[in-house]
Structure 1
Amino acid sequence: MNNVLLVDGYNIIGAWPELRDLRDKDLSAARDRLIEIMAEYQAFTGYRVIVIFDAHFVQGIERKYKNYKVEVIFTRENETADERIEKLAIQLNNIKTQVYVATSDFTEQWAIFGQGALRKSARELYNETQYIDKEIEKKVKKQINKKPISKIPLSEEVAEIFEKWRRGKL
């Protein structure tokens, strides 16, 4: 089964302390940080992640782009993120795909349930990203502590041959 996570960008930014503080100084930096966190989430979970932002915070028309392989959508001028998320939930939901929507907007939550999507609250998603950070940190530490005997990765068999050769037993 394919999993898709639709993220209500500004809702999540407003709900997470780190992003909320960043938003108050620089909205663009808060968006970039959310996308970066979602890229880690996508890489770790294998979910397809789409982050949706309301256009009224950004001048211009609807835009879509990929950043860190995360799909980012800025809605049309007269379209809210909620409306776009509902449309995407309808389009993407099928027998092979489970759609999750990350938001703490209660009105939106009821609308997405009707489309067969499941909800992740901002707090749930935050907790998941914290867990993922810790798991990535553990893996990195494990890799650092695994010091290779040789600068060149060798199979056990080849390493034994080289060791015998080094000792003059070949």
Structure 2
Amino acid sequence: MIGAWPELRQLKDKDLGLARDRLVEIMAEYQAYTGYKVKVIFDAHMVAGIGKSYHNHRVDVIYTRKNETADERIEKLVHELKRIDTTIHVATSDFTEQSLTFGSGALRKSARELLIETETTEKGIDTEVQKTQKKRNSTKIPLTDEIAEIFEKWRRER
């Protein structure tokens, strides 16, 4: 994703760590909005703490072990997680990896497709935020003191 998404590619040129953090943030929003469980796998080269896993924004972030590629780790995860009641999506633009994971029972998604989905998610989040703000604003009708007294008088007469 980092090499394929324009925003992340620009960040990577400045700081790979920032690009990784931004990807995790984007995927956290995606996970929160869609309800999908998300795992982000990074190749461990250029990273301290090889082979570590942790949660960041409720997203599972996994760094591969020494001499293990992200593709190999993804294949292992697909085999571990695949069950009849589980649908797994693997997002990669690597055609070989798409074929291997598809053959293992996962559905494939290109980096471009995932980018479009995350952009749609961002728009959906923005729409929900705007709706919430409108609801808050519509319940606060500005009244003059005179009108408020009239309403209060009517309320007490009942």
By the TM > 0.5 criterion, same fold?
A: yes
Higher alpha-carbon Rg: 2
What amino acid is the match of 1:66? H
User: Could you report, residue by residue, the CA deviation over 1:132-165 in whole angstroms, capped at 9, with x for unpaired residues?
Assistant: 1111111111111112536xxxxxxxxxxxx677
Q: 2:54 matched to which residue of 1?
A: 65
Superposed structure 1 runs of 4+ greater than 4 Å apart: 163-166
The structure that is strand-richer by fraction is: 1
What amino acid is the match of 1:168? R
Q: Which ranges of structure 1 fall in alignment gaps of 5 or more residues?
A: 1-11, 151-162
Q: Which ranges of structure 2 fall in alignment gaps of 5 or more residues?
A: 141-150
CA shift for structure 1 position 126: 0.3
Aligned length: 148
Q: 2:65 matched to which residue of 1?
A: 76
Q: Does 1:167 align with 2:158?
A: no
CA shift for structure 1 position 46: 0.6
CA shift for structure 1 position 114: 1.3
Q: 2:139 matched to which residue of 1?
A: 149
Counterpart of 2:3 in 1: which secondary structure? helix
Counterpart of 1:72 in 2: which secondary structure? strand
User: Could you report, residue by residue, the CA deviation over 1:101-133 in whole angstroms, capped at 9, with x for unpaired residues?
Assistant: 000011111110111001010000000011111
Name the Cα RMSD after superposition: 1.7
Q: 2:123 matched to which residue of 1?
A: 134
CA shift for structure 1 position 60: 3.4
CA shift for structure 1 position 166: 6.3
